[in-house]
Structures are given as structure tokens and as C-alpha cells.
Amino acid sequence: MANATLNATVRAETGKGAARKIRQAGDIPAVIYGHNREPQSLVLNARETEKLVKSIPVSSTAIELVIDGKSARTLIREIQRHPFKRTILHIDFQELVAGETVMVKCPIVYIGTPEGVRVDGGILDQIMHELQIQVDPSNIPNHIDVDISSLKVGKSLHVSDLTVPAGIKIVDEATSTVCIVQQPKQAAETPASTAEPELIRKAKPDDAK
């Protein structure tokens, strides 16, 4: 699994006013919680945090959170961002405990080119890009490989078709479609234009006069 390190300091003041002051000072308010641990308010350096978040798969990366010199292994559970600026406003960390499984979102990596694409010109539609899994913190994978090389046109893979390493349980619905190879797009046939047939009618007696 991926790992990263981030520094934090404990903050005594809580509430919206305190959080506003922290952001004005160029920092980010945060909180850490977990098994047998009281929620603890923290302060993160904004530049360091933004740089880290951009460089990792957030949902499946264990972060070694160094709090005033003491280390805690954590996962980021929520990132609140400004609706327009997209800057980070607040982060929730969950402390990981060995032996206790956690739920994480793990990216899917599709392996191979489907037979239906190679041979029949089909189109691969990747419906799911990550899986919700339950796993021990020490075994969180960086990604889940999904082999699609034998998938034919009109065929799909479902969660129930996937094989994952031992110790990992997929939480998503077994019937959920992971990907499908669609029929190739056919060029619309344009019928040849034909001239309007001339109407020929028998002349009436009056027309001959």
C-alpha cells in the first residue's frame, strides 16, 4: 500500500471562529479520531498538505501523521474544500488500528485490451473506476487489477466476477456492472435519393377540348 508522512500540531481552540483564524494564518484545521481515542483537533500547514494531497490516491493511502513529535497511522476520511477556490478547508483523519478492518475506496486498474475491442471494433465502457473494500490496514492495496482481455462485444463484468487478493472483501453490490464492451457504432446508412415520380393521369373528356 502507499504511505506518506504529514506533520500536525494540536490546537486547543475549537469552533468556527478558531478555524477561521487558522485559515487566515495559512494553515488548515483538522481532526483525528479512532478506536479508543477522543477526537483531537489539529492544525496542518496548508502548503505541505495541498502538495501531499495532490500527489497521492487519498482514499487508499496510509498517512503517518506526526503530531507534536508523536506518530499515528491514519487514513484521510473527509476533505472539505472551498466551493469555488477548491482550497482545503478541513480534513478528518481516522487512526488505524492493527487487526481492525477498515472500509476504503481502492482504484481499479484495467489490464489488457478486450477481445471485443481488438477483433470486433467494440468500445470499452469503464463504468466503475474504484471499488469499496473492507481490509486490514496493513494490507490496503494501491489498486485492484481487473483483467478484461477476454471480454467480448456485448459482454460485461460484474463485481461478482472479480477476483481479489486474500483478506480483501468487496463491499459494492455483487450485481453492479464494472465495465462492458459496447457494440461498435455503425455509420448511418443514407438511402439513395430518388426523383419524385411524375404523376400521369388519364385525360378527362373536358381536357381534350
Mean pLDDT of 161-190: 85
Domain ranges in the chain? 2-95, 102-182
Report how far residue 88's alpha carbon sits from residue 102's, in angstroms, rounded to the nearest whole number: 24
Reported CATH class of domain 102-182? mainly beta
| Structural contact between residues 146 and 109, judged by C-beta atoms closer than 8 angstroms | yes
Band the pLDDT of 34: cuts 50, 70, 90: confident
**CA nearest to 80, candidates 24, 150, 153, 19:** 19
- Strands in 11-48 per DSSP E: 27-34, 37-45
Q: Give tens-digit pLDDT for 57-99.
A: 888 888 999 998 889 999 999 999 989 888 999 999 999 887 8
| Structural contact between residues 105 and 60, judged by C-beta atoms closer than 8 angstroms | yes
Write phi, then psi, for 174 (nearest 5 degrees): -60, -30
pLDDT at 191 > cutoff 80? no
Strand partners, 131: 106
Report how far residue 170's alpha carbon sits from residue 162's, in angstroms, rounded to the nearest whole number: 9
pLDDT at 157: 96
What amino acid occupies position 150?
A: S
pLDDT at 190: 44
Residue count of the chain, please give it: 209
- Please enumerate in sequence order all residues whose Cβ is within 8 A of that of 154, keeping only pairs 6 or more positions apart, or say none: 116, 122, 181, 182, 183
Cell digits of residue 58: 487519498
Better pLDDT: 201 or 28? 28
* pLDDT > 70 in the chain, percent: 88
pLDDT at 205 > cutoff 70? no
Band the pLDDT of 196: cuts 50, 70, 90: low
CATH architecture classification, 2-95: Beta Barrel (2.40)
Q: Give tens-digit pLDDT for 109-142.
A: 999 999 999 999 999 999 999 999 999 888 888 8
